[in-house]
Structure 1
Amino acid sequence: MTEAVTSGGERILVVGPSWVGDMVMAQSLFKTLKARRPGCTVAVLAPGWSQPILERMAEVDEAIGLDVKHGEFGWRSRQVLARALRERFDRAIVLPRSWKSALVPFLARVPHRTGFTGEQRMLLLNERRRLDKAVLDQTVKRFVSLGLPEEEAARGDFAIPQPRLEVDAANLAALQTRHGLGQRPAIAMMPGAEFGPSKQWPLGHFRRLAEQLIEEGFEIRVMGGPKDTEAGEAIAGGLTHAFNLCGRTQLADAVDLLADCRQVVTNDSGLMHVAAAVGTQIHAIYGSTSPSYTPPLTDKACIHTLALTCSPCFERTCPLGHTNCLKQLAPERLLRAIRG
């Protein structure tokens, strides 16, 4: 838990999401709270991994860690944390729709607790809102709506502030030295996607595009977590001016490295949203998912999708077994877009 910040304004606790992309999109809510409630303080309760991202958001006054494994109830951890948070907040906004996510604000006796109906949360929330998926048709809209008066939120025509993560120039310089980067203008590639293979552009396509871009004078940075190390090697292995950084950098490092890139080629993933939040030109590839639901929140994005009759299916693996929505999206199309 970071040091608590006090002020004379409303003290708001936001129970944050559990995915990188969603946490970046949640900054739109934090920005809205700061604009609509002058003098308020915003604390975010979220998994410990998210702290490096929260530290890059000027609107977050405090990050409170709750490290409970996925699928684990963690009653003792929630109880202890709730006791420590008692009498510290005037309002709680619960972004996830699970009942467990609403438990800490309830146990901490936060007077006003807002969230969407779902999973038997009648006692845990005292302002329960119905989720109209037709009106609130994007994840970010749902987040922001919970920080607005219910009547305004129900219309769905409110402004969505774009996320903007702060960049650490000193850390970027250190990373460039450590990994031998920066000899050429950089283009990042992000081949991972936690959702599943139906979101992942073929590695052979990434490789062909990397080879062509290197020939045209670019440096390639393949980025992702430890799970993406093999994929990174399939793209960058044996190529000069290509660097497999998967599993070799931290989340905060990704913020700085992506801000330093000219352009980014990415699946619909958490790092796509990080790239959007540092203002880098994005080429976002959509297969089984839809850019209408989780678009990169930036004016500098080019969406690549084939919009086949079978997509978006929102399945983790292709139910038809061919993943043509990704395989038929040729590297040459991305190359033309990068050239502008």
Structure 2
Amino acid sequence: MNILIIGPSWVGDMVMSQSLYTTLKQKHPEATIDVLAPAWCKPILERMPEVNQAIEMPIGHGAFNLAGRWALGRELKSSNYTHAYVLPNSAKSALIPLFAGIPCRTGWKGEFRYGLLNDLRADRKIFQYMVERYVSLAYSPNDMLEQVKLANCPRPRLNVDKQTQQLTLQKLKLNLERPAIGLCPGAEFGPAKRWPDKYYAQIAHQVIEKGQQVWLFGGAKDREVTDAIRNALPTEHQQYCHNLAGETSLIEAVDTLAACHTVVSNDSGLMHVSAAVGCNIVALYGSSSPKYTPPLSERVEIVHTDISCRPCFKRECPLGHLDCLNKLMPDTVMASINKFIG
């Protein structure tokens, strides 16, 4: 088998998709797996031993660009792929394997994909978890229901480059004299996934009091939040709180997260990265649900409120109160953290 994967565009989804690649390699050890994905994914894919190469998707997320997809498909035709697995649900994501002349094209029924995919699976909702929906594509339609259960899905495992990790820690002026607790207060999806920064600040205060240090993770757009968390701490505690938001590349964040003892995170891409590098995870859920995208690790504490309006899966609270997050109190989260740090 010579396989082309049309990969997802979100960090967390890309990490979870590794479970499909692992399953394909287990079933077909001699298979070659290439993944077509946005350029930012390449460093993540290079940490997946199952992946032969990451191919940069030159067409922006959301752009149709039929001519560009045709040209890319014809370019890929020379690779003689035998199978394609299309993970996004859009029609446009299924065009490139068709234009590349790939004989077997597998994916879930989505928008207008009849004819584009010739191994079309009817209803992805027969599987509760996203990772199950990915892994099931490695099996025939007759076998997938019997074979695929969350407990049997391979867990994502990103390789950690110890040398690169040490260089990154030196660059960021970090050390492990105190055990590091990672806090990931951002969420690309929207505010209905973001636990309040004032609550994160209380967690930072308590773990520093207990003899830990805090590393704050995120992108440049999370800097305002991470600054607020650090500035809320007493002056004497700020030396033990390191604001890394916007200071690392994605792959540097992977290696730095791997050095953390425990990570506290919203339901975000960094939560899935933390699980894939072996951290203890305290996962905070607001509008989303661990019954769909849980961190795929055995060392997880999942925390959420039980108010009747969650999960709504909205980017912003439709009721305007964000009670699913505001009523998730720091003491509850700290109790989960203490299960890992004592």
TM-score by length of 1: 0.94
Structure 2: how far apart are the matches of 1:174 and 1:87? 39
The 5 A counterparts of 1:263-274 are 263-274=262-273
The 5 A counterparts of 1:31-180 are 31-88=22-79, 89-133=81-125, 135-155=126-146, 157-158=148-149, 159-180=152-173
| Aligned-partner residue type, residue 55 of structure 1 | E
The 5 A counterparts of 1:261-300 are 261-300=260-299
Between 154-163 and 211-220, the greater mean CA deviation after superposition? 154-163
Structure 1 residue 337: deviation in Å? 1.9
Q: Percent identity?
A: 47
Structure 2: how far apart are the matches of 1:313 and 1:70? 25
Between 140-149 and 68-77, the greater mean CA deviation after superposition? 68-77
Q: Could you say what secondary structure the match of 1:150 adopts?
A: coil
Structure 1 residue 132: deviation in Å? 4.2
For the 8 Å contact 2:77–2:102, the answer to whether it is kept is yes
Q: Which runs of 5+ in 2 are unaligned?
A: none
Q: Could you say what secondary structure the match of 1:188 adopts?
A: strand
Structure 1 residue 127: deviation in Å? 1.2
Structure 1 residue 116: deviation in Å? 1.1
For the 8 Å contact 1:115–1:146, the answer to whether it is kept is yes
Structure 2: how far apart are the matches of 1:321 and 1:181? 39
For the 8 Å contact 1:87–1:110, the answer to whether it is kept is no
Structure 1: how far apart are the matches of 2:225 and 2:67? 38
Q: C-alpha deviations, 1:245-291, integer Å up to 9, x for none? A: 11110111111111100000000000000000011000000011110
- How well do the aligned residues superpose, as a CA RMSD in angstroms? 1.3
Structure 1 residue 156: deviation in Å? 6.2
Q: C-alpha deviations, 1:217-249, integer Å up to 9, x for none? A: 111111011111111111123522111111110
Structure 2: how far apart are the matches of 1:153 and 1:73? 31
Matched, 1:199 2:193: yes
| Aligned-partner residue type, residue 56 of structure 1 | R
Q: 1:30 aligns with which of 2, 18, 21?
A: 21
Structure 1: how far apart are the matches of 2:82 and 2:315? 40
Structure 2: how far apart are the matches of 1:22 and 1:93? 14
The corresponding residue for 1:7 is none
| Aligned-partner residue type, residue 8 of structure 2 | P
Q: Could you say what secondary structure the match of 2:159 adopts?
A: coil
Q: Could you say what secondary structure the match of 1:86 adopts?
A: helix
For the 8 Å contact 1:165–1:277, the answer to whether it is kept is yes
The corresponding residue for 1:235 is 229
The 5 A counterparts of 1:181-220 are 181-182=174-175, 183-220=177-214
Between 153-162 and 292-301, the greater mean CA deviation after superposition? 153-162
Q: C-alpha deviations, 1:28-48, integer Å up to 9, x for none? A: 000000001120011111111
Structure 2: how far apart are the matches of 1:314 and 1:212? 31
**How many aligned positions are there?**
330
Between 112-121 and 155-164, the greater mean CA deviation after superposition? 155-164
Q: C-alpha deviations, 1:106-163, integer Å up to 9, x for none? A: 0010111111112111121111111241x31111111111111111113464420000
Structure 1 residue 74: deviation in Å? 2.7
The corresponding residue for 1:246 is 245
For the 8 Å contact 1:87–1:109, the answer to whether it is kept is no
| Aligned-partner residue type, residue 96 of structure 1 | P
Q: Could you say what secondary structure the match of 1:260 adopts?
A: coil
Distance of aligned partners of 1:157 and 1:69 in 2 relative to their CA distance in 1, 3 Å threshold: closer
Between 15-24 and 118-127, the greater mean CA deviation after superposition? 118-127
| Aligned-partner residue type, residue 299 of structure 1 | E
For the 8 Å contact 1:11–1:40, the answer to whether it is kept is yes
For the 8 Å contact 2:73–2:100, the answer to whether it is kept is yes
For the 8 Å contact 1:28–1:144, the answer to whether it is kept is yes
Structure 1: how far apart are the matches of 2:240 and 2:168? 16
| Aligned-partner residue type, residue 139 of structure 1 | M
Structure 2: how far apart are the matches of 1:232 and 1:240? 14
Structure 2: how far apart are the matches of 1:49 and 1:67? 11
Structure 2: how far apart are the matches of 1:62 and 1:323? 42
Between 27-36 and 118-127, the greater mean CA deviation after superposition? 118-127
